[in-house]
Amino acid sequence: MTKAEQFTDPVAFHAEGPVWSPSWGGLRYVDMFAGDVLAVDADSHVTRRHVGVIAAALRPRQGGGAVIGVERGFVLEEPDGSLRSLPDVWDDTSLRFNDGACDPHGRFYCGSIGYHQTPGAASLYRLDPDGTVSRLFGDVTISNGLDWSPDGGTAYYADTTTRRIDAFDYDAVGGLSRRRAFVEVDGFPDGLTVDSEGHVWVAIYAGSAVRRYRPDGTLDGVVELPVSQVTACTFGGENLDELFITTTRENLPDGVQPAAGAVFSCRPGVKGKPVMAFAG
């Protein structure tokens, strides 16, 4: 059992989607409902930039800048820091983007959620480097964590309300295929990441923990947090040996768990993979 320590002040209401990239100087994450991207400096000081009504997920671009999932579409941060909005993916105002990640071929995936979490109303989408957007599948309620195995052949994905992490086969031409259950989760799986050994780390929303699962689905470790609403995790640091964990104040009364909304961290004794960047 490992305990995470507080890394930043609780400056976010709903911190999500942490990503470490040397191209932008370290750790970034989102304050989702504020529509802001937050950047952490070497002293754990946080600055923020407003990008839209919702800031759902982000990844670095191979040529510099970032791709950002916003409420109903995507924003490209250019290498010079300017922002360029792409057309909305849909018109339905009851849905928004939620979490996302890039595949080994530089395509950005982002899944949706209904504002009222309507069962089956959400989908998973893919933004290709040429700007084409594809709807990959629907019948999703809360599209959440997504990441790939070190060899790129398996993708892991969580639709939170299923209380399950699924696995897909993956290749460049066929994309995601052969969906099957990877592990049944005691709790609500949120954001996830895969380490360099192929183990899956998943944040447990309302569970005060991040759990590590072996490639065969066996529980292999737990990181405990002093707050309950744990949203996502990623590896970072110069050696990719620090686990950064985001949390939220969502559904918490005022004055309860005052550290909720902070980023926490620990060194669990393994390393993560370098982030996969968007090729567009």
Please give the DSSP secondary-structure letter assigned to residue 32.
G
Contact 129, 107 (CB under 8 A): yes
Q: How far apart are CA 68 and CA 57, in angstroms?
A: 6
Is 190 part of the annotated catalytic residue set?
A: yes
| Active-site residue, from 31, 103, 159, 190 | 190
H helices, E strands: number in the chain: 0, 25
For residue 94, which of 66, 60, 119 has the smallest C-alpha distance? Answer: 119
Cβ contacts of 240 within 8 Å, gap of 6 or more? 20, 196, 271, 272, 273, 274
What does the alpha-carbon distance between residue 106 and residue 117 come to, in Å, rounded to a whole number? Answer: 29
Catalytic residues: 190
